[in-house]
Amino acid sequence: MASSLTDLLLMGRERDLGSERGVSCDGELPAASDPGLIERAHAARAALGSKAMILGHHYQRDEVINFADITGDSFKLAQAAASHPEAEYVIFCGVHFMAESADVLTTADQKVILPDLAAGCSMADMAASHQVHEAWKVFQRLGIDTKTIPVTYMNSSAAIKSFTGEHGGTICTSSNAERAMSWAFEQGEKVFFLPDQHLGRNTAVLKLGLSLDDCVLWNPWKPNGGLTDEQLLDAKVILWRGHCSVHGRFSLENIRDVRERVPGVNVLVHPECQHEVVSHADVVGSTEFIIQKIEQSAPGSKWAIGTELNLVQRLANRFNDREILFLDKTVCYCSTMNRIDLPHLVWAMETLVSGRIVNQISVDPTIAHYSRVALDRMLALP
């Protein structure tokens, strides 16, 4: 089956038009109001037993997390899948790029299932493979390709991870971006960071001590990335013009507002937030770091958290002896992550119980090879 999100979505459209490929959920998806839905979920999970592993990303709804065998961020879950080769089916409750990474890291005998093929990632979609290769051609024309090391955020398609592996680069997560970028500067003179401009900029400036002037922003929709040759030659970090639709919405105004409303509040944000937000926050860290920080915080402490709302609500319910607020007063879930709901999970499990494999994510072998090269480089970082 095709590995790119675009191809999978097109295939989904074909199924809507009546194609019978054995993977359509049209007319089969349980109703969200089905009073027996939870009972059906438990029954299907029990029937699958050890043949299946359910992975749930921190940003998933509680109704899905309740059935997850392991919860975590994207890379932790991919590692979990790889460390359990006995699980024939890996049901990944996350988004498409996460399921791709799980497929790259698991054995050929394991099958990775994404309950809803429409669960994509807007950030990952902001860096298309052909656009990245076009940018590299410009680097080759300028003679900077041999001194430029790609560093690609985990939140990217397998095709972009493959490009990174093929061109001597590494993958990073939000928790090891500083080490990955430092490693890249040990290998070359420039870093090509994609697809999240904010994580790249925050890491370069706030962690490595570079200046904002050392960073330029490559816009794939403009000739030469919207930059002059001189800007590209002088830059130390070339940032791809991508961002997270959830974390990118937090603003400096949000921070000022919450500090005025809640005296003594600690502002805790994810490094995918805009530079001015990260610069003015009290604490910055990855999803796992945010969870650990709240776990270690004192009862009665106050926290305004800038990350996905499902996680913030879960933390607020879990630590109700602390005041935990969403940094933005406007509700904002990750819309694509929320496509994975209990009806889709039940449908995926029940069809597996019936002997049918649905929504399998399978990465092209060549793409998987170079993606694995890039991921292995990350795993080798101290």
Domain map (residue ranges) of the chain: 5-120+336-363, 124-244, 247-326
End-to-end CA distance of the chain: 36
Average pLDDT on 340-359 reads 95
Residue 164, helix vs strand vs coil: helix
Count of other CB atoms within 10 angstroms of residue 28: 11
| pLDDT band at residue 326 using 50, 70 and 90 as cut-offs | very high
Least confident interval from 107-121, 190-204, 229-243, 263-277: 107-121
DSSP line for 261-319: HSTTPEEEE-TTS-HHHHHH-SEE--HHHHHHHHHHSPTT-EEEEES-HHHHHHHHHHT
Residue 189 has pLDDT above 90, yes or no: yes
pLDDT at 379 over 90: no
Name the CATH superfamily housing domain 5-120+336-363.
NadA-like (3.40.50.10800)
The pLDDT tens digits for 7-33 are 333 333 333 322 223 344 445 788 877
| Residue 267 exposure: Cα atoms within 13 Å on the Cβ side | 26
Least confident of 97-101, 165-169, 204-208: 97-101
The pLDDT > 90 percentage for the chain reads 76
Q: How confident is residue 329, by pLDDT bands cut at 50, 70 and 90?
A: confident
* Mean of pLDDT values over 103-110: 93
Does residue 177 contact residue 203 with C-beta atoms inside 8 Å? yes
SS3 per-residue string spanning 47-97: HHHHHEEEEEECCCCHHHHCCCCEEECHHHHHHHHHCCCCCCEEEEECCHH
Average pLDDT over residues 248-264: 96
For residue 314, report the phi and psi dihedrals to the nearest 5 degrees. Answer: -65, -40
Pairing of strands 302-306, 283-284: unpaired
Q: In whole angstroms, what is the distance from residue 151 CA to residue 146 CA?
A: 14
Residue 100 DSSP SS3: helix
Res. 337: pLDDT tops 80: no
Please state which architecture CATH assigns to domain 124-244.
Answer: 3-Layer(aba) Sandwich (3.40)
Higher pLDDT pick, 2 / 357: 357
Side-chain-side CA neighbours of 312 within 13 Å: the count stands at 25
3 state SS of 325: strand
Pairing of strands 360-361, 111-113: antiparallel
At 331, the pLDDT band (50, 70, 90 cuts) reads low
Q: Cα dihedral sign for 351, 80, 165, 138?
A: positive
Q: What is the DSSP letter of 207?
A: I
Ordered strands of the 302-306 beta sheet: 283-284, 266-269, 302-306, 323-326
CATH code: domain 247-326 is 3.40.50.10800
pLDDT band for 252, please (50, 70, 90 cuts): very high
Across the chain, what does the average pLDDT equal? 90
| Phi, psi of 278, deg, nearest 5 | -60, -40
Determine how β-strand 323-326 pairs with β-strand 302-306. parallel
Residues facing 54 on adjacent strands:
91
* Rounded CA separation 91/345 (Å): 8
pLDDT of residue 34: 81
Contact 1, 106 (CB under 8 A): no
Render pLDDT for 201-240 as a digit per residue (tens, 0 to 9). Answer: 999 999 999 999 999 999 999 999 999 999 999 999 999 9
Q: Report pLDDT for 354.
A: 96
Question: Looking at the DSSP assignment, which residues form a beta bridge with residue 269?
Answer: 284, 306
Question: pLDDT for 117-137, tens place per residue?
Answer: 988 888 989 999 999 999 999
Whether 5-120+336-363 and 247-326 share one fold: the answer is yes
Instruction: Report, as an integer, the average pLDDT of 265-285.
Output: 97
Give the CA count within 13 Å in the CB-facing half-sphere of 253: 4
> How confident is the model at residue 335, as a pLDDT?
72
Of 16-20, 238-242, 247-251, 298-302, the poorest mean pLDDT is in 16-20
Question: 159, 229, 145, 152: which is closest to 190 by C-alpha?
Answer: 145
Winning range, highest mean pLDDT, from 2-11, 100-109, 144-153: 144-153
38 pLDDT higher than 70:
yes
